[in-house]
Structure 1
Amino acid sequence: MLTRKQHELICFIADRLNDTGVSPSFEEMKEALDLKSKSGVHRLISALEEREFIRRLPNRARALEVLKVPERGAAPKSAAASPTSASTTISSSAPLPAPANDVIEIPLHGRIAAGTPIEALEGASMLPVPAALLGSGEHYALEVAGDSMVEAGILDGDYALIRRTETARDGEIVVALIDDAEATLKYFRKEGAMIRLDPANRDYNPQRYRPDQVRVQGKLAGLLRRY
């Protein structure tokens, strides 16, 4: 049997899949159910999985498959509202649209140093990225070269997903363009009249520059790693 919120969520997901073929985002689920946080959505999704109402499709962002939907009568007021919860299994003759692989392509602008600064290469290639990894704003990707950010979990060969911005707060990981020629991925900090770019590897030293030498070109939004 389903709680009222579980009933509302499975109906919302099923309706969205019927309309668009794409699973709603966790943010959309949170707003639709008037929840305070996405953690509540995660709990509801897990509960619906356990009850075999939905299934998550592996290796596909935001991809949910509805296995059965409850009857569209009055939603239960609570888990104890009725001893059973009637449900209808989706028949093979009228399947829901297959969930779309919610992936978008963002520009891949070469390699960026996570060690000594190297030239930021501009390229025309695109990188497919699960939309769930990105928030609002314009994004691009850079392939990480070097090991100076390993203690922040950023490894050589990773793809850094960068949200474009020209400002940063102390402690944020940014793409810093130095002297309009070289770019590096580092923690951004202000130190008196200077800008300090900190590595996340004790084998590397901080780099200090005048503010006119450093231009923030974005900050880290996520990572992609291939195995």
Structure 2
Amino acid sequence: MLTRKQHELLCFIHDRLAESGVSPSFEEMKEALDLKSKSGVHRLISALEERGFIRRLANRARALEVVKMPDQAGKAAPTATPQIPVAANSNDIIELPLHGRIAAGTPIEALQGTESLAVPAALLGPGEHYALEVSGDSMVEEGILDGDYALIRKTDTARDGEIVVALIDNNEATLKTFRREGSMIRLDPANRNYDPQRYRPEQVVVQGRLSGLLRRY
């Protein structure tokens, strides 16, 4: 038997995965459930994981998989929560364009580079993707560390709370959480030691949303 908040969070994660194939961020979960802090989200996720309703996916930022829903005890979650493209086998390897390094701190030089990165298909959702090597520590509270490879789904739109690649003034790129704040665009770090960055809408071009994370040991 789930508590009301546990049930609400499970349904929110399930619906977001069905819609986009990407888990919601802790900030999005906090706001969706009207919680005061992310620690409450952590407790709910731990409880759902202990009861076998969700599973954390290794080596991926904010990656959760719904195993079952309350009315599906003992059954696998429906395929409406995709983690990989339908046509891809979990053992497949996909070569993604590697467009250099991107700052998870202050913006750096815009995307460039012609190398490629071999990525398991299981780490990708639907759509066209590319990879970036993360530089900096301002997204550590979302599990994104210096040296990680961010797997980015190409798009030019974003919703509040999504982690995006944002091109600033057409020459600097950064990885941040996207938010609208009045007439401005606010790019939030996930590190209490860093301040949000605010820009006019014409200064910011979204170049993709975070789809997964690859970490080498």
TM over 0.5: yes
- Whether the aligned pair in 2 keeps the contact of 1:109 and 1:120 (CA below 8 Å) is no
Q: Deviations over 1:87-115 (max 9, x none)?
A: xxxxxxxxxxxxxx411101000000000
Q: Which TM-score applies when normalising by structure 1?
A: 0.57
Question: Is 2:169 the counterpart of 1:179?
Answer: yes
Q: 1:122 matched to which residue of 2?
A: 112
Question: Is 2:78 the counterpart of 1:37?
Answer: yes
Q: Which TM-score applies when normalising by structure 2?
A: 0.60
- Whether the aligned pair in 1 keeps the contact of 2:138 and 2:191 (CA below 8 Å) is yes
Which structure is larger by alpha-carbon Rg, 1 or 2? 1
Shift of 1:121: 3.7
Q: Which has the higher contact order (CA 8 A, sep 6+)?
A: 2
* Count of residue pairs brought into register by the alignment: 135
% of aligned pairs identical? 78
Name structure 1 gaps, 5 residues minimum: 1-34, 40-60, 63-100
What amino acid is aligned across from residue 37 of structure 1 in structure 2? P
What amino acid is aligned across from residue 181 of structure 1 in structure 2? N
Name structure 2 gaps, 5 residues minimum: 1-75, 81-88
**RMSD between aligned alpha carbons?**
1.8
Q: 1:149 matched to which residue of 2?
A: 139
What amino acid is aligned across from residue 128 of structure 1 in structure 2? A
- Whether the aligned pair in 2 keeps the contact of 1:149 and 1:200 (CA below 8 Å) is yes
Shift of 1:124: 1.0
Question: Is 2:153 the counterpart of 1:112?
Answer: no
Shift of 1:179: 0.2
> What secondary structure is seen at the aligned counterpart in 2 of 1:154?
coil
- Whether the aligned pair in 1 keeps the contact of 2:111 and 2:173 (CA below 8 Å) is no
Looking at structure 2, the residues matched to 36 and 193 of structure 1 have their Cα atoms a distance apart, in angstroms, of 41
> What secondary structure is seen at the aligned counterpart in 2 of 1:132?
helix
> What secondary structure is seen at the aligned counterpart in 1 of 2:170?
coil
Shift of 1:163: 0.2
Q: 2:198 matched to which residue of 1?
A: 208
Looking at structure 2, the residues matched to 120 and 128 of structure 1 have their Cα atoms a distance apart, in angstroms, of 22
